[in-house]
Amino acid sequence: MSFDDSGKKPVTLEPWGGSGGSRWDDRIYSTVRQLVIVYGAGSGIESIKTEYDQKGCSIWSDKHGGSGGLKTDEVKLDYPDEYLTSVHGYNGSLNQRGPTFIRSLSFESNKKKYGPFGVEEGTYFSFPMTGGKIVGFHGRCGSLLDAIGVYLKPLQQQNQSNGVLHSQNYLVNTINPSQNHLAYTTDHVAYSVYSFGLLQW
């Protein structure tokens, strides 16, 4: 069984995090090649910057967040065979009255896991979908990364036994399977609306 991403419309997953800072939107690309994450020792994610691919061309996003941070890590995907499938992390504040922002991020691809980067404290959040790839990020930022959301593109499932390409929304909520909604047809026009669960630790 293999997957193809042609002819599918991306799904917008709304941001996790706080309401501070200003809205940013990288919009939608073919895939993600690389991420640069800057974070503090005891605070959280200071900024994120992404290298995208658009039909074979490398395109870097703006840096979203501030100029601080004590450590910088890079997530370099094995383009074009590797792609991002999931993001999860923690959001919270440094004190009871402080603003909520992204404190930790981890990433998963179709090949491996990356992270965590930052401090795993606060409220856990996740975009735990399988059968799709991340093709863009959006969110809010100021001096820190306040919030992050994703654009997820469903992948078409190729049935190699009979050569039929089914247009199937193959996004699966791995936290709460009861919330999955699956659209399946033999043409290329079926889409579905999804609901997503929140897991708090």
**Band of the pLDDT at 191, cuts 50, 70, 90?**
very low
The 3-class SS string of the chain reads CEEECCCCCCEEEEEEECCCCEEEECCCCCEEEEEEEEECCCCCEEEEEEEEEECCEEEECCCEECCCCCEEEEEECCCCCCCEEEEEEEEECCCCCCCCEEEEEEEEECCCEEEEEECCCCEEEEECEECEEEEEEEEEECCCEEEEEEEEEECEEEECCCCEEEEECCCEECCCHHHCCCCEECCCCCCCCCCCCCCCC
pTM: 0.77
pLDDT tens-digit map of 117-169: 999 999 999 986 778 999 999 999 999 999 999 999 998 765 544 433 333 33
- Give the pLDDT band (50/70/90) at residue 9: confident
- Percent of the residues in the chain that have a pLDDT greater than 90, as a whole number: 63
